[in-house]
Amino acid sequence: MTTLLILTGPQGSGNHLFAKIFSQHPEVNGWTALCDTYWVGHDQEPFAEVWRDPVKASGYPWSSHQYHVTSISCPYRDHGQDAWPDYEQFIDTVQAQGINIIVAVIGRDQNVLAYQETRLRKRVTYTDFTSQLPRLSKYNTIFLSQELAYLYRDQYLQQIAKQIDFPFEYRADILIEDANAKYFKPIEQNWLDPLIIKASNK
């Protein structure tokens, strides 16, 4: 059965990262331009026009591959303005073509998201996405973690691919640079440290 994996989450949560990860396998029709470069704007994502006008899903060449992947952040930027994906119309139109849908909700540390969104969008936007979660819960929804991808790497990603029955090919170079690292600075001491050290030495 033809399957479409929808990767979605707050702006900055890892849409590009997971789109690159799940587009590597030759059996997957994904964001191939992103596989060969570090970053590409979402206006060049293969399904960008379908997200703008979900009716176009009825004319998409689904027969080209058994597996497809698309990435959309919420909200996303369209011609300089915030826009919200119409999940229901998009998914309903795709399912009407006989396509199996898997919705993968991407998560990232909320503090990092707040820093990143404020820097690039001048406001925190991840709360806009969390308000959409009840609408997405009725679909075949799984959750992906950027932190777990960097921590457990191929073991985590292979397990996800197995759970959703989706082709997967691991490329270690994609996870070389942890995008969260720039937000963290070590602290010298926390008030709880002496108690933990004392307990650990018993």
Q: What is the pLDDT along the chain (202 residues), one digit of tens a residue?
A: 999 999 999 999 999 999 999 999 999 999 988 888 888 888 889 999 999 999 999 999 999 999 999 999 999 988 888 889 999 999 999 999 999 999 999 999 999 999 999 998 899 999 999 999 998 989 979 999 999 999 999 999 999 999 999 999 999 999 998 988 988 888 788 887 777 777 777 7
Phi (first) and psi of residue 135, to 5 degrees = -70, -30
Identify the pLDDT of residue 161: 96
Domain span holding position 175: 3-200
Would you report the helix, strand and coil content of the chain in percent, each value rounded to 5?
A: 45, 15, 35
Angle between helices 146-164 and 15-22 (to 10 degrees): 40
CATH number for the domain harbouring residue 76: 3.40.50
- Tally the domains of the chain: 1
Q: Is the dihedral of CA 48, 51, 54, 58 positive or negative?
A: positive
pLDDT at 183: 87
> E strand or H helix at 118, and its extent?
helix 110-121
d(CA 25, CA 27): 5
pLDDT (0 to 100) of residue 193: 75
What is the identity of the amino acid at 85? P
Closest by Cα among 119, 95, 96 to 6:
95
In the chain the first and final C-alpha atoms are separated, in Å, by 58
Q: Are 105 and 144 in contact (CB under 8 A)?
A: yes
